[in-house]
Amino acid sequence: VEQFGKIDILINNAGISQRALLADLPLDSLREVMGVNYWGTVYCTKFALEHLLKTKGSVIAVSSISGFSPLPARTAYCSSKYAVHGFLESLRIENMKTGLHVMIAAPEYTSTEIRKHAIVAGGKKQGESPRDEKTMLTPEFVAERIARGVRKRRRSLVIGKMGTLTVIVTRLFPRLSDKLIYNYIKKESNSPF
């Protein structure tokens, strides 16, 4: 604000993942995931809010399909994404008359370093991705979709065909979704199932 005099957009994109059963995850690891994913979003949004209100700017959270649809062995990660969704959806309603734009972007699997740094059983770092990163969305594709969503002032943005299908099936057929998601995660290398 000192340098440019205003804030037009805040993109909350910091995040860490977790890949372990709750029984194998130390409480400190759950706190770490919530600290970065949820509280990081809360703090940044809170401190930027007065400036964003002046410009009728945008608050964006780069979330995950996991904010709409649960994943086994991702209890901390999914909880943090659900919390971010609730926080920003409430913020949107609070600011219906102020001109503040609030958008949640939820990309499906995207080829980033997040899986390599994921917290696993015992609180350790995973070290390598259990998935084929080449089959995932690229960060550039996701960024372009988010930029388009900001220009159109969308409130929610699910990015990717598999992600869109997952959200729809989870909402309409939750029991079927549970089985499909379980079997999908079961196929991952190093899956706890």
Tell me the C-alpha distance between 107 and 157, whole Å: 8
- pLDDT at 120 (0 to 100): 86
Catalytic residue list: 77
* Domains of the chain, start order: 9-186 (3.40.50.720)
- pLDDT at 127 (0 to 100): 76
| Neighbour count for residue 192 (Cβ, 10 Å) | 15
DSSP track, 144-161: HHHHHHHHTT-SEEEESH
DSSP-assigned letter for residue 10: E
Claim: this prediction has a pTM higher than 0.75:
yes
DSSP-assigned letter for residue 59: E
Q: Is the pLDDT of residue 48 over 90?
A: yes
Task: Decide: 12 and 61 in contact? Cβ < 8 Å.
Answer: yes
Beta strands 9-12 and 156-159, pairing class: unpaired
Task: Decide: 38 and 76 in contact? Cβ < 8 Å.
Answer: no
How confident is the model over 66-113, as pLDDT tens digits?
999 999 999 999 999 999 999 999 999 999 999 999 999 999 988 777
Confidence of residue 128 (pLDDT cuts 50, 70, 90): confident
For the chain, give the percent of residues with pLDDT over 70.
Answer: 98
Considering all CA atoms of the chain, what is the largest pairwise distance in Å, rounded to the nearest integer? Answer: 52
Strands (E), the chain: 9-12, 18-19, 58-62, 101-107, 119-120, 156-159
How confident is the model over 56-68, as pLDDT tens digits?
999 999 999 999 9
Which H/E stretch holds residue 185?
A: helix 174-186
